[in-house]
């Protein structure tokens, strides 16, 4: 302990002796670590498993049912209502849900105030919550897919009801009254794999969840890609026509279920083909969560390349710091040798260097955090598509500290070992 304090004291002296040198080393390493940290943070947010433990068991269903002559899209993730419904009704999958994205204006039915909040809405089935792992703070999913019952998210519940248990309360949505039957716990899902397409992968979870049948009946608009080869004027006309806007997710627990489901859906498609309701080749694809995120390029490929480049840049920074350190150790080899001559052991001289590099590493880490924060703030300003992930999560700070300590140790250990190798007699005259 005594020695440890002495080493810290010596570090302070060394900094005072050559402040410019230390500033240079610290800056070199911090810039390298800071840029890597910023990019790595975004990358890690992009490549987080949004539903650990279940990501191998939940699949997005793609079908090749496009009714136009030219199928430029191949197997598509947006399905017709009739196909989606058939999949859910078949009950072949362990669990299944369908949904589309909408947006409604919401207001407490009992409020004097006429203010309405624009609320991202998911038109879906009661099974959605279980499939996606959403947890309820109050109440439960609706029991009847044709009832005017809804579930709301934590944020909207705070906005409208101050976070109280609002089960039983009523909301006015698009001019009709709906009863709240469930309130979700705070629910963060990044990436938002249930809607990973159309650049929505970093949207927040929805504010309102409504039975999809009710939403269709009430013509709640689709806020995502829709395609149709038939014409329609209102959404409630789309149940039997070639309108593509519904996503289906199924839960398949093992290979057996996977095979059973694939067999079912291929059989189903072949039946459609026989009836003339499947114009192109049968091509049904199941993507599990990670495959689905991959397919939608949720991890930005440019960013990946850029991150690799910053990784190499950090290596260059470490080499630089290393050679700086080496030059200093040659200069201060005299002192190290003198210390050994008067009784410091190689170990003690080595530890002195290690303590120095640990302090250096901590300083670099702190500075690189500041740099990374600033860089991410800059990204948010400059690149819209990076804005949702331009954040520094806590675990990245830990990684940053680790990288900083490793970098600083790497920059000092080699010169240190070189330093303790030289013979004392050859330096001191």
Partner 1 sequence: MLSMKNISRVYRSETIQTHALRDFSLEVEKGEFVAVTGPSGSGKSTFLNVAGLLDGFTQGEYTLDGTDVNGLSDDDLSRLRNEKIGFIFQNYNLIPDYSIFDNVDMPLRYRGLSAKQRRNRIEYALELVGLASRHNYLPSQLSGGQQQRVAIARALAGEPKILLADEPTGNLDSLMARQIMDLLKEINAQGSTIIMVTHDPDQAREVNRNIQIIDGQITDYSIYAPMQPDSSIALDKQQPA
Q: List interacting residues with partner 1 (CB under 8 A).
A: 2-3, 6, 13, 17, 334-335, 338-348, 423-425, 428-429
| Closest C-alpha to 151, from 136, 133, 172 | 136
Which one, of 38, 21, 40, 32, lies nearest residue 315 by Cα? 32
- Which of residues 2 and 188 has its CB atom nearest to partner 1 in the complex? 2
Q: How far is the CB of 420 from partner 1 (least distance, A)?
A: 9
Kindly give, in sequence order, each residue whose CB lies less than 8 Å from that of residue 285, ignoring residues fewer than 6 positions away: 61, 62, 75
Strands annotated E in 265-339: 285-288
Q: Toward partner 1, which CB reaches closer, 103 or 354?
A: 354
State in angstroms the smallest separation of the CB of 12 from partner 1: 13
Structure tokens, 204: 């927040």
Q: Which is nearer to partner 1, 232 or 334 (CB)?
A: 334
394 CB neighbour count, 10 Å cutoff: 7
Supply the minimum distance, in Å, between the C-beta of residue 289 and partner 1: 57
In whole angstroms, the minimum distance from the beta carbon of 351 to partner 1 comes to 12
Residue among 86 and 338 whose Cβ is closer to partner 1: 338
Closest by CA position to 139, among listed 130, 128, 150, 127: 150
What's the sign of the alpha-carbon dihedral 194, 129, 179, 237? Answer: positive
Q: Which is nearer to partner 1, 312 or 428 (CB)?
A: 428
Closer CB to partner 1, 13 or 275, in the complex: 13
The residue among 317, 302, 305, 309 whose CA lies nearest residue 403 is 317
With 0-12 CB in 10 A as exposed, 13-18 as middle and 19+ as buried, what is 185? exposed
Q: How far is the CB of 329 from partner 1 (least distance, A)?
A: 16
> Would you say the C-alpha torsion 143, 145, 150, 152 has a positive or negative sign?
positive
The CB-side HSE value for 319 (13 A sphere, CA atoms) comes to 6
Shortest distance in whole angstroms from residue 326 CB to partner 1: 21
Q: In whole angstroms, how close is the CB of 4 to partner 1 at the nearest point?
A: 12
- Rank residues 13 and 143 by Cβ distance to partner 1 and give the closer one: 13
Question: For residues 118 and 103, what is the distance between their CA atoms, to the nearest angstrom?
Answer: 7
Give me the least distance between CB of 339 and partner 1, in Å please: 7
Neighbours of 255 (CB within 10 A): 8
Residue 62: enclosing H or E segment and its boundaries? strand 58-62
Distance in Å, CB of 299 to partner 1, minimum: 51
CA angle 142, 238, 226 (to 5 degrees): 95
Structure tokens at 345: 């052991």
Q: Which is nearer to partner 1, 233 or 426 (CB)?
A: 426
- The residue (of 227 and 338) whose beta carbon lies closer to partner 1 is 338
């Amino acid at each position: 302990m005594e020695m440890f304090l002495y080493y810290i004291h010596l570090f302070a002296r060394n900094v005072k002796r050559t402040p410019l040198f230390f500033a240079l080393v610290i800056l070199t390493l911090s810039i390298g670590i800071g840029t890597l940290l910023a990019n790595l943070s975004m990358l890690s947010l992009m490549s987080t498993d949004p539903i650990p433990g279940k990501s191998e068991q939940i699949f997005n269903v793609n079908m090749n049912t496009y009714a136009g002559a030219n199928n430029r899209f191949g197997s598509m993730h947006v399905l017709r209502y009739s196909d989606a419904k058939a999949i859910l009704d078949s009950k072949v999958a362990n669990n299944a849900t369908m949904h589309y994205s909408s947006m409604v204006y919401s207001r407490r039915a009992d409020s004097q105030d006429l203010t309405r909040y624009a609320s991202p809405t998911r038109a879906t089935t009661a099974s959605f919550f279980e499939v996606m792992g959403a947890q309820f703070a109050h109440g439960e999913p609706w029991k009847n897919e044709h009832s005017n019952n809804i579930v709301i998210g934590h944020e909207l519940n705070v906005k409208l009801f101050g976070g109280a248990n609002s089960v039983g309360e009523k909301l006015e949505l698009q001019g009709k009254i709906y009863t709240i039957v469930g309130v979700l716990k705070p629910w963060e899902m990044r990436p938002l794999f249930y809607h990973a397409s159309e650049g929505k992968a970093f949207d927040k979870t929805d504010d309102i969840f409504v039975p999809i049948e009710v939403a269709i009946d009430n013509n709640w608009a689709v806020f995502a890609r829709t395609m149709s080869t038939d014409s329609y004027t209102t959404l409630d006309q789309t149940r039997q026509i070639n309108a593509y806007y519904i996503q289906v997710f199924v839960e398949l627990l093992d290979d057996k279920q996977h095979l059973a489901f694939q067999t079912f859906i291929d059989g189903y498609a072949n039946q459609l083909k026989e009836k003339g309701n499947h114009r192109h080749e049968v091509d049904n694809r199941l993507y599990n969560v990670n495959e689905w995120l991959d397919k939608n390029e949720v991890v930005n490929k440019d960013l990946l390349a850029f991150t690799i480049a910053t990784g190499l840049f950090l290596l260059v920074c470490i080499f630089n710091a290393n050679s700086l350190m080496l030059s200093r150790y040659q200069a201060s080899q005299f002192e190290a040798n003198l210390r050994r001559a008067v009784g410091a052991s190689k170990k003690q001289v080595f530890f002195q260097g290690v303590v120095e590099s640990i302090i250096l590493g901590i300083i670099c880490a702190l500075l690189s955090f500041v740099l990374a924060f600033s860089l991410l703030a800059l990204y948010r300003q400059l690149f819209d598509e990076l804005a949702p992930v331009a954040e520094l999560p806590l675990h990245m700070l830990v990684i940053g500290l680790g990288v900083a300590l490793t970098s600083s140790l790497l920059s000092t250990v080699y010169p240190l070992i070189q330093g303790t190798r030289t013979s004392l007699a050859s330096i001191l005259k």
